[in-house]
Structure 1
Amino acid sequence: MSSIPSLLRDRIAATPDAEAYRVPSDDTWVSMSWREVGERVRGLALGLSGLGAGPGRRVSILCSTRLEWILADLAVLSTGAATTTIYPSNTAAECAFVVTDSGSTIVIAENDEQVAKLRSVQKELPDVTHVVVVDGSSSDDGWVVTLDSVSGGEGDYDALVDAISQDDLATLIYTSGTTGRPKGVELTHDNWLFAAGSVREIDLITPDDLHFLWLPLSHSFGKLLEVVMIDIGVPTAIDGRLDRIADNLGALRPTVMAAAPRIFEKIHNTVVATVRREGGIKLRIFEWARETGIRVSRARQREAAVPLTTRVEHALADRLVFAKLRARFGGRIRFFISGAAPLSRDVAEFFDGAGLTILEGYGLTESSAGSFLNRPESVRFGTVGPPLPGTQVRIADDGEILIGGRGVMRGYHGLPRETSETLEDGWLRTGDIGELDQAGRLLITDRKKELIKTSGGKYVAPTHLEGRIKAACPFASHVFVHGDRRNYVTALVTLDMDVVRPWAEAESLPADPEALRGHPRMREEVDRAIRQVNADQASYATVKKFAILAEDFTVETGELTASLKIRRKAVEERHAETLNAFYAD
């Protein structure tokens, strides 16, 4: 096949009546077959074509994760146009930048709230001829039309699909912009077909699985999952509402789910904080079970035999603790997939010991999201696994990871200088520092641009420390390690109030974050975690001072990107007074 729409067409021909998607409807879930998906996509593609979508054009999607996002994406691609993705959390100004920079002429918006954003900057969108709203009403001036009214156009759908080349632009995804203005990453149909085919080749997921998708489809990780499931023919249950994840897991009982590390950290921290609050025999049993599970996990990673006594202990720990944890996820999870940010090894080993293995992977938007992935039979936590089939890797003299292969982007939209700086002789400069182990698995040390160099000339990897502190302190939401050109390392810690509040109430402590952050008991909990992490760090890499903040980092304050990565410069600027106070002496 030469395009994503032709891949879909092949899937429909192969398994027309098999379940494709499952979506929430009132208190139940409704299934849709691949044949029904094809009919919906065909009608919407012809309708969008009638509005002007076609080869060389771009259509933006401003919508949360839901079935209509996927149908709209497949329909846009079927016209020969390319999809530009926009996070629904983006501000009106950020939306306007992406729409105008990409040259989008149509925007598909989720609801009236998103339409209102576009209306507020309409003068900045002179090339946008129509806004197609999923849940909303059309406007009197004709600028806004409904998705239902667009669906059902007439024309030769197959001719549109046949005209698409594998080298045609399929997607423009704007990078998070942790260090500057977002750049539009140009990904072709061939990029996505290669990435999806690489996942299929390792026989990780089968049509017998049930995939639960809630990740943002605006992110390259979510987009890759969309194409992978079409390629393999895996049914996918879709619901992007974060507050429904726990309930959905219980109702759906999926076998596969992908998530960002923050989800696993939050589950881990909630469990740990709950048993600590209960104390007594429950806490002692939990700590024993966790240590037993980690021993088993580490033996598996070494491919060593697990002693009989440990196996017996682990079976008891499973019955008393781990089986209950697996039940929270529906009881059928074969594995999780983690990506988009580093996963703490401590958290990964805890889950693995509980029978919930997390396969950490790695890729950039610029490499079509999927370049490396741990395999269930040879997982090694702390690494992101070996390359996926067809992906090439080199480690530069300065330690930078270079990626080659068909998954590498075409370039940055309208930015030839930045493209030439990032692509060198066909190799993608990732900006990450790493090394390969003897089995060819990739270990990422840190972001090249984010390494801290203390005034003493020592390099410190901040994200490594941040992940370990979060794993050691169940009350932490985010940790920011600071110390570039300073004489020692310090940290800012934000609180996860969903976890902290029940503990604070049980301990008769103030529940207000401002009052709680300076309380000796709260500082003692954070200090204990930092001392635990410091114990096995070189002196120059230990955190000497810390402050607890009253407010968490958020996308709205500019301290997090839309994909929840910390914007380091923004945090440093916003909390400059606190950071400078660490070094006042």
Structure 2
Amino acid sequence: MRAYALAPTPVSPLTGGLADSVFETAVRTPDLPVLARRPAPGSSVWEEVSAAGLRDEVVGLAKGMIASGISPGHRVAIMARTRYEWTVLSYALWTVGAEVVPIYPTSSRDQVEWILRDAKCVAVVVEDEQAVMTVGSVCGALPLLRHVWQLDSGALDELTARGESVPMTTVDSLRRIVLPDSTAVIAYTSGTTGRALGCALSHLNLASSCDTLLEGWRQTAAPPGEQGSVLAFLPFSHVYGLMIQNLCVRGGLLMGHEPDLSGEALAAALRSFRPTYFYAVPSVFEKMYKTFHHTAHQDGRGALFERAASTARDFAAALERQRLGEGPGPGLDLRLQHALFERTVYRRLRLAFGGRVVRGTSGGSPLSRELSHFYEGIGVYVNDGYGLTETGGGVTMQPLGREKSGTVGRPLPGVDLMLSDDGEVMVRGRTVFQGYLNEQEATRAVLRGGWLATGDLGWLDADGYLTITGRTKDVLVTSSGKSVAPAALEQRLRTHPLIHQAVVVGDNRPCVGALITLDPEFLAYWRGSLSLRSDTPSREAREENALREEIGRAVAAANSTVSRAESIRVFRVLAQPFGVANGLLTPSMKLRRDAIVEHYAAEIDSMYQARSRSPRPNVPEEPPGWDESDDVFR
């Protein structure tokens, strides 16, 4: 095994709970704006809420919870999108020692019932009437559930009014008995396979990585002399979103909320809120790049964008070699080209982030090195972070001035990291969770001698930088015995503008294959750009042939990064994308591989059978007939 950890950075030890930071900031800097809210959904106007104002709202709601019988150790579920009330609610519950149980608002009836019953929730806060009906349909099976509060019907105002007679001394006494090891959150895993497990996370688990990041990297959140600001839009139902919330509240960063995850709503919110730091998952960064690409081509500036993007990547790669001591940095010609594109292209692209973003973080799954270089080259360095639900958030970060794209950096101070003999990432430290709720056997399976077995595969380079290569449970084994980690191939496929999603398959098959969905916006543009003139039937056939060739080139490009035995030989383009609604993505936008393979079993069988009916010359050490990519379309 190989183990690495950065030297410890002095961080003040946590002495109480997460809610203490709300009260401490209100005393220290009462007028500091800490939250921003809009008077109406979608408004471009943001009203700032001071630290003292947030504390008063939290206290009022905490009193209402006490008046409603919520006591230390009680579990209250929050089933809502990322909105202002989520933050106030969570800190009010932590103030009285209650435990927050996040539920994705898109969860099914069965998922809601399972979480509320497994966690023994005494109350649930929902967003709208539809959610009330969902919870109402399962109430009969939940004898412990006492309250269902609906945000859109004014529940928080009613709770605050109910608690007016509760003395402040009661709130203070409850807050002071919350200890760092008290459970703060029961976060249910997305459940890519099997039933979701409730991860018990303490106040210390959730605060540790936030405080370490604020201690060592706070200066990266904003230009010098400015207060950092973050637009929270990732679900607080996921630990990544919770980490963003806690970073902002503990660090005094201004936080706004955007509940609508559509591209249009996010773009509008970024333009009006204008954050200084941007957090997202790789699919968001990929989508933004494709939007840049698509818009440029539509406006007739496609060639200009391609040159600017290539220059950005080359410039960032040269900067990286320089900071790692492996090169002199960008040469004169490259610097001149970059300066030209800064005036004509890059600063316009940065407006998509609001115009003030200086850095960003991608998490949830690996971000490609090429995409990281692109964003650094246009002036928004995006580092790839790593963490999981069981660690309460991030466990690695890029060392300042020694950032290395394509990796997730090095372990945070206070976190020990090592690789097992089979390449599994093992983590130890204050961020590691307390265990799975009601699941001692599952807890013992992942907590081994103080180390958390993450289920992620990775490798450490000579300088201790970690690269995540996939999940242990996702590794495919072809019928010839070749093991293949699909994540890198899928990531490479998604870099093509036409490809929206990709799932690599091949367990017990003669070769590796892929299921692909297309980006509808770029597909429409691509079809319109073809210079084909003829009658409709012939044109359609020629379009499909051209599309097959284009996807084939994307597959060939992905194959160039792996060995021949690991390369994709067959693929099928699907008519519909994988989504949360059809059960093929988790609410945190991760692939449900088992569900996808089961759902498309007939298509996968047909894909391989079609190829096997077209024998080709034998290839040494590989089954006959699998020497090229198939272009089978649904």
| Fold shared per TM-score above 0.5 | yes
Specify the alignment match of 2:295 in structure 1: 274
Specify the alignment match of 2:310 in structure 1: 291
SS of 1:291's equivalent in the other structure is: helix
Of 531, 535, 546, which residue of structure 1 is paired with 2:560? 535
SS of 1:135's equivalent in the other structure is: helix
Specify the alignment match of 1:141 in structure 2: none
For residue 517 of structure 1, report the CA deviation from its aligned partner: 13
Of 224, 234, 247, which residue of structure 1 is paired with 2:243? 224
Of 513, 516, 519, which residue of structure 2 is paired with 1:493? 516
Q: Relative to 1, partners in 2 of residues 1:135 and 1:517: Cα closer, same or farther, differing over 3 Å? A: farther
For residue 257 of structure 1, report the CA deviation from its aligned partner: 1.4
Output the amino acid matched with 1:481. Answer: V
For 2:89 and 2:196, the matched residues in 1 are separated by 24
- Gapped regions of structure 2 (runs ≥ 5): 1-14, 613-634
Specify the alignment match of 1:264 in structure 2: 285
For residue 384 of structure 1, report the CA deviation from its aligned partner: 0.4
Specify the alignment match of 2:547 in structure 1: 522
Is the CA contact (8 Å cut-off) linking 1:346 and 1:468 kept in structure 2? no
For residue 260 of structure 1, report the CA deviation from its aligned partner: 0.7
Q: Does 2:39 correspond to 1:25?
A: yes
Specify the alignment match of 1:242 in structure 2: 261
Specify the alignment match of 2:8 in structure 1: none
With 9-18 and 202-211 compared, the bigger mean Cα shift is at 202-211
Of 54, 60, 69, which residue of structure 2 is paired with 1:37? 54
For residue 248 of structure 1, report the CA deviation from its aligned partner: 1.4
- Deviations 1:496-542 (Å, cap 9, x if unpaired)? 223323443454999xxxx9999223323222211122233211111
Output the amino acid matched with 1:147. Answer: L
Is the CA contact (8 Å cut-off) linking 1:470 and 1:479 kept in structure 2? yes
Greater CA radius of gyration, 1 or 2? 2
- Deviations 1:229-278 (Å, cap 9, x if unpaired)? 12211111112212311111111221101001111111111222333455
For residue 169 of structure 1, report the CA deviation from its aligned partner: 0.6
- 1:13-92 equivalent positions in 2, closer than 5 A: 13-26=27-40, 27=43, 28-92=45-109
- 1:42-191 equivalent positions in 2, closer than 5 A: 42-136=59-153, 146-152=155-161, 153=163, 154-155=166-167, 156-191=170-205
- Gapped regions of structure 1 (runs ≥ 5): 138-145
Specify the alignment match of 1:310 in structure 2: 334
- Deviations 1:367-401 (Å, cap 9, x if unpaired)? 01110122452221110011112111011111111
TM-score of the superposition, structure 1-length normalised?
0.94
- Deviations 1:426-448 (Å, cap 9, x if unpaired)? 11000111122222211111111
Specify the alignment match of 2:413 in structure 1: 389
For 1:193 and 1:536, the matched residues in 2 are separated by 39
For 2:524 and 2:69, the matched residues in 1 are separated by 53
With 264-273 and 459-468 compared, the bigger mean Cα shift is at 264-273
Specify the alignment match of 1:143 in structure 2: none
For 2:487 and 2:27, the matched residues in 1 are separated by 46
For 1:290 and 1:275, the matched residues in 2 are separated by 11
For residue 284 of structure 1, report the CA deviation from its aligned partner: 2.4
For 1:517 and 1:260, the matched residues in 2 are separated by 36
Of 574, 579, 582, which residue of structure 1 is paired with 2:599? 574
Output the amino acid matched with 2:102. Answer: T
With 496-505 and 72-81 compared, the bigger mean Cα shift is at 496-505
For residue 212 of structure 1, report the CA deviation from its aligned partner: 1.2
- Deviations 1:467-522 (Å, cap 9, x if unpaired)? 11101x21222100111221211111112223323443454999xxxx99992233
Of 436, 456, 467, which residue of structure 1 is paired with 2:460? 436
Is the CA contact (8 Å cut-off) linking 1:359 and 1:375 kept in structure 2? no
SS of 2:393's equivalent in the other structure is: coil
Count of residue pairs the alignment pairs up: 571
Q: Relative to 1, partners in 2 of residues 1:101 and 1:19: Cα closer, same or farther, differing over 3 Å? A: same
Let me know the Cα RMSD of the aligned residues: 2.0
Specify the alignment match of 1:202 in structure 2: 216
Once the two structures are aligned, what percentage of the paired residues are identical? 34
Q: Does 2:499 correspond to 1:476?
A: yes
For residue 189 of structure 1, report the CA deviation from its aligned partner: 0.8
SS of 1:71's equivalent in the other structure is: helix
With 15-24 and 194-203 compared, the bigger mean Cα shift is at 194-203
- Deviations 1:120-178 (Å, cap 9, x if unpaired)? 222122211011111027xxxxxxxx221111411321111011111111000000111
Output the amino acid matched with 2:293. Answer: V
For 1:274 and 1:475, the matched residues in 2 are separated by 14
For 1:21 and 1:425, the matched residues in 2 are separated by 41
Specify the alignment match of 2:433 in structure 1: 409
SS of 2:411's equivalent in the other structure is: coil
For 2:543 and 2:596, the matched residues in 1 are separated by 20
For residue 9 of structure 1, report the CA deviation from its aligned partner: 1.4
For 1:526 and 1:128, the matched residues in 2 are separated by 52
SS of 1:90's equivalent in the other structure is: coil
